[in-house]
Chains A and B, each alone.
Chain A
Amino acid sequence: MRGLSGVDLRRVHEHVAFMANRKLLSYSIAIIIANIISALFLIFFFYAGPASPMWSSIPLGFSIFIYKILISIQASRVGRELNTGEVQIYLAHTLTRTEYLLSALLVVGITPALVLVATYLTFLAIAAPLSYDFGSQLPYLFAELMMHATIVMALAIGGHENAASIVGVMLALFIWAIMGALLFLLILLGANKPAFYVAYAATLLIAMATPLTYRFTYGTIPSSLTPLSLPDPLLVLSLSTATFIILWMVFFIRFKRRDL
């Protein structure tokens, strides 16, 4: 079954299953914990009525944290496969470089992101009618996990498998603190100071890396408090999506020529 660009989807499927199976325990734990959190959230909604976006950010934040850890572990393992030369075994058995990286993209990024999105979609369907506001968070959720996968994979492909897991876990752990600190800085600094623009640029970058986290925090800062209005979350989501698509295209192009 050959797809676009001569990619054999059967081989990709086979390799994705193999890669995922090797971390089956991590996947299972991540999915079980995230589903328990979602179930608790569901019960809360049934008995307490529709909640504010801030409320929904709590279970989502926990689920995202768990999935980010899972993504970081998987990316680190892909990095290890590249560094140790294990990848040669798979490539020697007809898997092409494109098929290998596509498998990695599916295992590290797309599958975990879709599983979490699907979990919350199910939750939405069961707990309907929920507010449009909650449903609209799902594209941000997908983009946030994909951006996380992109960042850790950039490190892993670059041969920094340990950095991939450390940075991945740190980002997952401290993203709220980083985002909060940057927004606090923006409020604190005057518009005329160059430091403000540095902080503004940093905020934009972090926002692109974590569009859902930014969306949650964006709503908490009145625009009157900052000299320059913060970028709209929808714009950040668009930039974030474009960035991870472009970066993955770069990964694919560079990986075709990479020495293994």
Chain B
Amino acid sequence: MSTVEFREVSKRFKNVEALRGASFKILDKTVTAFLGPNGAGKTTSMKLIMGFLKPNRGEVLVWGEEPWRNEDIRGRIGFMPEKPVYPVDIAVEDLLNHLAMLRRISRTDLGRIVRLVGLEKMVEMKIGALSRGYIQRVGIAQSLLGDPELLVLDEPTANLDPAARRGIIDLLKVLNKELGVSMVISSHIIPELQEVSNYAVFIDRGVILDYGYLKDLWRKYETEAAFHIEATDVNALGKILIEKPYIRSVKRLNGVLEVSIDPGHYKSFESLLMEMGHLVKSYSFKTTSLGDLYERVVRGRS
């Protein structure tokens, strides 16, 4: 079932066409990487999902409803805007308390969220006195109020130093693991969402290049990929796999095998893993580079 659906959506701001006939779907229970360079139309798409903008043409549907018409939809979404637009003259706890009051959330729930995002020591500070990393955490904290069914995070790592960016990515991983909500995360730094996302929408200059599950896109665009395999006997499985001609490398990482294969052999490799069910406990599909996939999508389009 699709949570978000864009049908031939166009959005124009004076002379700039931010979106041109964009059509895509975001499915339920996915963590979607919304990827594209600066000015691609990511923020416009996020705002359309929230109902802050009205499309000039086409339809934006969130759970089958148009968000700019039905404002109640926003109550089911947690939103973090791209720019740190929070009032700088008030304390973190005053803002969060106010937003929690609007959503009728108890102080206990608010405290839980504050602890989850690691803000408990900062709540008394004015927002204007926080570092960019902590302001982003305030953004994530407010987006989690009310246990939303969908999180829309617009560039959560923008303008952060590498350490702060790492912190936010780790936090997103924790949120995904602990809350299990659908997420749409936009970023122009393509590789960073690799660790958290399982679905992607690629956008460039207002045009949707492609979208879908990452495992399908990797197969479609034949990018080099890797499988992480948990085995009952890691050494035995490793010996079997290394002899296959389409396997490039087999590495042992913390008791898990990381197997890199040639593009175009996904199906045969997965069949092989099925055949060796007695050795394979579980496996997951990992790409070596989301950036590489993005390059291929752009090239494929042009």
Contacts and interface: CB of A to CB of B under 8 A. Distances in A.
To the question of whether A and B form a pair in one complex, the answer is: yes
Interface of A: 11, 14-15, 18, 22, 84-86, 88-97, 257, 259-260
B277 interface: no
A95 B102 CA distance: 7
A260 B48 CA distance: 10
Contacts of B81: 85, 88-89, 92
Contacts of A95: 102
Given A93-B102, A93-B103, A94-B102, A88 B75 contact: no
Contacts of B142: 89, 92-93
Interface stretch (B82-90, B166-174, B291-299): B82-90
B98 interface: yes
B86 A260 contact: no
A86 B50 contact: no
B101 interface: yes
Nearest to A80: B87
Given A93-B142, A259-B52, A85 B85 contact: yes
Interface string B79-123: 101010111011000000011011100000000000000000000
Given A92-B77, A94-B75, A86 B102 contact: no
B71 interface: yes
Given A14-B98, A18-B98, A94-B75, 16 more contacts: A85-B83, A86-B85, A88-B50, A88-B52, A88-B79, A89-B99, A91-B50, A91-B52, A91-B71, A91-B74, A92-B50, A92-B77, A93-B103, A93-B145, A257-B54, A260-B47
A11 B102 contact: yes
Contact of A86 (B13, B54, B86): B86
B276 interface: no
A54 to B, nearest CB: 42
A219 to B, nearest CB: 44
Nearest to A85: B85
Contacts, number: 67
B54 A92 contact: no
Contacts of A90: 99, 102
Contacts of A92: 50, 74, 77-79, 81, 142-143
A94 B103 contact: yes
A257 to B, nearest CB: 6
B145 A97 contact: no
Nearest to B51: A91
Given A88-B85, A89-B85, A90-B102, A97 B54 contact: no
Contacts of A94: 72, 74-75, 102-103, 146
Interface of A, helix, strand, loop or mixed by DSSP? helix
A86 to B, nearest CB: 5
Interface residues of B, number: 29
Centre residue among B72, B90, B102, B143 by max chain A CB count within 10 A: B102
Nearest to B81: A88
B256 interface: no
B53 interface: yes
Contacts of A11: 102
23 contacts: A11-B102, A22-B90, A84-B83, A85-B83, A88-B50, A88-B81, A89-B81, A89-B85, A89-B86, A90-B102, A91-B50, A91-B52, A91-B71, A92-B74, A92-B78, A92-B143, A93-B103, A93-B142, A93-B146, A94-B72, A94-B102, A259-B13, A259-B53
A188 B39 CA distance: 59
A90 B53 CA distance: 15
Contacts of B143: 92
